[in-house]
Amino acid sequence: MRNIFKNLKLKRRMYAALAGMGVFGNPGKELKIIGVTGTNGKTTVATLLYRVATALGHKSGLIGTVENIVGVEKRPMTHTTPDPLNLNKLLKDMITAGCEYVFMEVSSHALHQNRVAGIHFTGGIFTNLTHDHLDYHGNLENYFQAKKKFFDKLPASSFALSNADDTHGRVILQHSRAKKFYYGFSSEEDFHGEISKLDFSGLELKFNNTFIKSKLLGKFNAYNLLAVWSTTKLLGFDMRRVTKILENVEPPRGRFEHFKTPSGALVIVDYAHTADALEKVITAAREILPGEGKLVVLAGCGGDRDPLKRPKMGKVVASLADLPIFTSDNPRSEDPEKIIEEMQEELTEEESRKARIVVNRHEAIAEAMRLAGKGDIILAAGKGHEDYQEIKGVKHHFDDREEFEKMFGK
């Protein structure tokens, strides 16, 4: 363990030294780079910004969890934020391709390891902060400080946009030299949102008295849309066109992605892998659930990752779902049955009786399909866009959406 931390320190020093020597250059002088950080919402906000900018005719790049895109060319990715050498090569390719904007997810690991050192950001966005990655950071304060580091280093010429409704939303900008802006649904924000309608057909919203309609579902997506709308306004985009584009924009792959089964059940596939994210997506699913409908939720926890969040995630699923199914996620080197046992540690007797244990994820999806009929919702959480399941060091092809579609012969 001591060697691991020693290696991390050496790596951070090396990245910082290379940046200070100008090895990476300063891509921000030729690109308008917008960084998005937070526990949940990074992928949706960055992807929607990329899609809006592209639809407006601005050649753009995207760097994130689901995909990297240079203009329209998709590139392979291994981390939410690449290491400095690959990141700067990617940015250089974007300059060569004639990109004007880059929308990039900035992870806490990347910030702690100085992967974005030396890059000039035009703006930074904070979505929220909840329990995650504590296996790496040790505690929530360290995790918060890693995120805060991003805003502390923004120059005065940049903007910093933060979610005022999050408990960390104001303090995270406390020492930032950037121009500060806030968005939210409470009061006194620079960008204020109101929800007029929220159901299965989508969202109807008002942002600073501008009417916004979207096909995206759920209150958490109202926050994501407000962050996107606020950023486009700060970038000086044509807001009438932005509003029209947001009406038809689709969610990123595996982010509250939804489709119907032949039996009339609605399937939602989402990447939620923290207790807070699970609570948000389950609540969002329940908000659009028809009166007599049942909510079936299948979820697991990843192996070799923060074990402290497993009981919390299990509690959220068992307490909020009508029919909870505990299953395997990416067990990696761990025993999936042991992970599921840890998910059940905080359940009441009633919640334990209600929960179904189906370790094999394929069989869990089949069980969810058997349980759900017309007017019901199945939420498959945890894997989202991932097309593999990692077991004992081997990645096997597995895609939640594909599994559902194979079962109803699509």
Coil, strand or helix: which one is 381? strand
Q: In which band, very low, low, confident or very high, does the pLDDT at 325 lie, cut at 50, 70 and 90? A: very high
C-beta separation of 105 from 147 below 8 A: no
pLDDT tens across 199-223, in order? 878 999 999 999 999 999 989 999 9
Q: Can you spell out the DSSP letters for 326-362?
A: E--S--BTS-HHHHHHHHTTT--HHHHHH-EE--SHH
Whole-model pTM: value is 0.81
Parallel, antiparallel, or unpaired: how do β-strands 60-63 and 68-70 relate?
antiparallel
Q: What does the alpha-carbon distance between residue 20 and residue 35 come to, in Å, rounded to a whole number?
A: 20
Coil, strand or helix: which one is 69? strand
Question: What are the two backbone dihedrals, phi and then psi, of residue 270, each rounded to the nearest 5 degrees?
Answer: -145, 155
Q: What does the alpha-carbon distance between residue 68 and residue 205 come to, in Å, rounded to a whole number?
A: 30
At 21 the pLDDT is: 40
C-beta separation of 207 from 226 below 8 A: yes
At 391 the pLDDT is: 95
DSSP one-letter code for 154: -
Coil, strand or helix: which one is 196? strand
Parallel, antiparallel, or unpaired: how do β-strands 266-270 and 377-381 relate?
parallel
Domain 2-248 belongs in CATH node 3.40.1190.10: yes
Tell me the CA end-to-end span of the chain in Å, nearest whole number: 48
Interaxial angle between packed helices 239-248 and 42-55, expressed in degrees from 0 to 180 and rounded to the nearest 10:
120
Query: Which of 102-111, 182-191, 308-317 shows the lowest per-residue confidence on average (mean pLDDT)?
Result: 102-111
Domain boundaries, the chain: 2-248, 257-407
Tokens of 206: 């008002």
Q: Scanning the structure block, which residue is given the tokens 């509690």?
A: 315
Q: Which CATH architecture fits 257-407?
A: Alpha-Beta Complex (3.90)
pLDDT tens across 359-404, in order? 999 999 999 999 999 999 999 999 998 999 999 989 999 999 999 9
Closest by CA to 78, choosing from 91, 63, 89, 92, is 63
Calculate the alpha carbon distances from 226 to 8, 210, 284, 310 in Å: 36, 11, 17, 31
Calculate the alpha carbon distances from 8 to 5, 16, 26 in Å: 5, 12, 24
What type of residue sits at position 177? R
Question: What are the two backbone dihedrals, phi and then psi, of residue 280, each rounded to the nearest 5 degrees?
Answer: -65, -45
User: Does the pLDDT value for residue 255 go beyond 80?
Assistant: yes
C-beta separation of 32 from 122 below 8 A: yes
At 276 the pLDDT is: 84
Closest by CA to 408, choosing from 259, 257, 262, is 262
Looking at the chain, the whole-number percentage of residues with pLDDT higher than 70 is: 90
At 7 the pLDDT is: 52
- Please name every residue paired with 123 in a beta bridge, in sequence order, or none if there are none: 34, 159
User: Does the pLDDT value for residue 125 go beyond 60?
Assistant: yes
